[in-house]
Chains A and B, each alone.
Chain A
């Protein structure tokens, strides 16, 4: 069975600080996808990033970057120079297999508060 663990529950930072959100996953599949979603107070989940299990290359996209390490089953997400608008709940999710018929397993989420 697949499982996603987000050990951090709440993080509070001051604006312009860097913040890293941790995610550890469990799966028996060799083919899977990892995601980060953001949930602002309005409720909808907003897609941020996706990586597949065959691509461990870490990338930077604007203020976002991620560190995918299969050896430790971790998929951490970093926000550089945080802003107040980054305040939200962040979910890490795992999808086994490929295609639209694969369900997402979410972690419990991390509440990020960015103070001005």
Chain B
């Protein structure tokens, strides 16, 4: 059973650019959640997708968008990058009706 995999693991962007982060959910899971973890902070909920539909959103601006594919993998897109977007972006998957999340190792984004 493979876990949650995320790509890329590290990336550096400049302010104003756009970035796409990818996530493959654990086998058998149909729900994907994205979290942002700033340095020294706990993860903050960005949004969740269930069967390709958005199923909840945290307090993040519309620059943060995403989608889920039929195979339940997911993408997080961030437009017009700002310095404060520098963080570890964590993807987590779960099965329907379960609230125990399986997390990936994250994508560390640095915005210069």
Contacts and interface: CB of A to CB of B under 8 A. Distances in A.
Contacts, number: 76
A102 interface: yes
A37 B50 CA distance: 23
A66 interface: no
Contacts of A47: 100-102
B88 to A, nearest CB: 6
Interface stretch (B12-20, B62-70, B71-79, B89-97): B89-97
Contact of B31 (A35, A42, A44, A100): A100
Given A91-B42, A108-B42, A109-B42, A103 B103 contact: no
B76 to A, nearest CB: 15
8 contacts: A37-B103, A43-B105, A50-B100, A100-B31, A100-B99, A104-B43, A104-B99, A109-B41
Interface string A93-104: 101001111111
| Candidate in A44, A46, A93 with the most chain B CB atoms within 10 angstroms | A44
A71 to B, nearest CB: 24
A104 to B, nearest CB: 7
Nearest to A92: B42
A106 B108 CA distance: 19
Given A91-B43, A104-B43, A106-B43, A44 B97 contact: no
B103 A45 contact: yes
A33 interface: yes
Nearest to A49: B100
The 7 A-B pairs at the shortest CB distance, nearest first, are namely A106-B42, A45-B103, A103-B45, A44-B105, A100-B31, A43-B105, A43-B106
A105 B105 contact: no
